[in-house]
A = this chain, B = another copy of it.
Amino acid sequence: MKNQLDRNAGNLTLDDIADLAGVSRSTVSRVVNEHTSVKKEVRQRVLNIIEEHHFHPNAAARTLALQRSWTIGLILPHSVSTFFTDPYYPNLLMGIAKACNLYNFTLALFLVSTKEDEANVFSRVGRKGFLDGVIVQSGHHGDQGAIGKMVDKKIPLVVVGRPFRSDNVTYVDIDNINAAKSAVTYLHKIGCKRIATITGPLDSTVGIDRLEGYRQAIKEQNGQVDDNLVVEGNFTETGGYLAMQKLLPFQPDGVFAASDVMAAGAMKAAEDANLSIPKDVSFIGFDDLPAASYGSNQLSTVRQKVAELGQKSVESLIEQIEDESIAPRQIILETELVIRQSCTQLLDISPQNIK
């Protein structure tokens, strides 16, 4: 034992500690795991030695014995362009990472861009003794495969954002349709007659739902949806800029963009075309990024608490990990319409005018 000890100092095992404390391996294990059945003095003695030698039980051995790794996976199937361009992801990541810290879980991050990545990642994620559960950022058609596999393998799973096939899957999301609807309705109330929208990618549920909200709002105000006023964007600033350029010939006086980042691009395009905001055209974005709220032309937006989305998904996942029999459920978070200078002001802001 001493031998072992010398051989790789600073790399003790339970046995080493047991020797040092003059007790058995089992007892040390009990101390580490806070079992009550250890005599006070013994417990203290062992604890001291552990402290003194900075002992940490080997993670792999623990995982093997307990079939629990205290690690959760986060799969971000990112279309490269938006990951480092739209603060949505970093925000989500922060929320998730913080929650992991809080509950003492480790976060394994998988950024998936190619088909190859996907196969690769899945072969690792599917492996036992590695992850206790998985969070998938979803919304694209392409994710269905991955999600299906998790469900089949009965790996505890939470999806962020409504997936295309949402039966039998726990997911966390906001009510995109109504959130979008309220923004467009607001534009109508302040007098916009030609309200345009720059949508998200229409192969994603977010894109589809926010457009649906726009449609519903227009129809409810007895309007016709004019296809010229609907342009598909891709959640990038450049995309917003280009989309706005397409819209300009049709002279919109209000624009609902499906993300703040696209709204920022669109506003630049409007300014470059010498339009004045909000006099000539009002803007509402979506997300409420920090950057939206300073400088001139502060952006009106639909606030969603992305970090909270992340936190809830972690919490819900942990629940599943701890009780595998929990039934799939949906968690829908609140959003809030935040009006700033990018919209002409509504004079009478009584409640019935806003919703």
Contact = CB atoms under 8 A, between A and B. Distances in A.
Contacts of A268: 295-296
A109 B101 CA distance: 10
Contact of A57 (B57, B80, B107, B127): B127
A265 B90 contact: no
12 contacts: A56-B128, A57-B127, A60-B129, A61-B129, A84-B87, A84-B90, A98-B111, A104-B124, A106-B108, A107-B109, A241-B295, A268-B296
A164 interface: no
Given A56-B126, A127-B56, A94 B85 contact: no
Interface string A120-154: 11011011111000000000000000000000011
Contacts of A57: 127
Nearest to A297: B268
Contacts of A109: 93, 97, 107-109
Nearest to A114: B101
Interface in A277-334: 290-291, 294-296
Contacts of A84: 87, 90-91, 93-94, 290
B237 A291 contact: yes
A60 B69 contact: yes
Given A90-B90, A97-B110, A295-B241, A85 B290 contact: yes
How many copies, total?
A: 2
Contacts of A129: 58-62
Contacts of A93: 84, 109, 111
A272 interface: yes
A220 interface: no
A71 interface: yes
Nearest to A64: B60
Given A71-B108, A97-B109, A127 B59 contact: yes
Interface in A36-70: 54, 56-64, 69
Contacts of A71: 108
A54 to B, nearest CB: 7
A267 to B, nearest CB: 10
Contacts of A290: 84-85, 238
Contacts of A203: none
A287 to B, nearest CB: 11
A11 interface: yes
Contacts of A123: 56
Contact of A294 (B154, B241, B271): B241
A73 B64 CA distance: 20
Given A58-B64, A238-B294, A294-B241, A101 B128 contact: no
A265 B127 contact: no
Contacts of A113: 98
Contacts of A98: 111, 113
A60 to B, nearest CB: 3
Interface in A255-271: 265, 268-269, 271
A19 interface: no
Contacts of A238: 290-291, 294
A97 B111 contact: yes
A294 B264 CA distance: 12
B128 A11 contact: yes
A226 interface: no
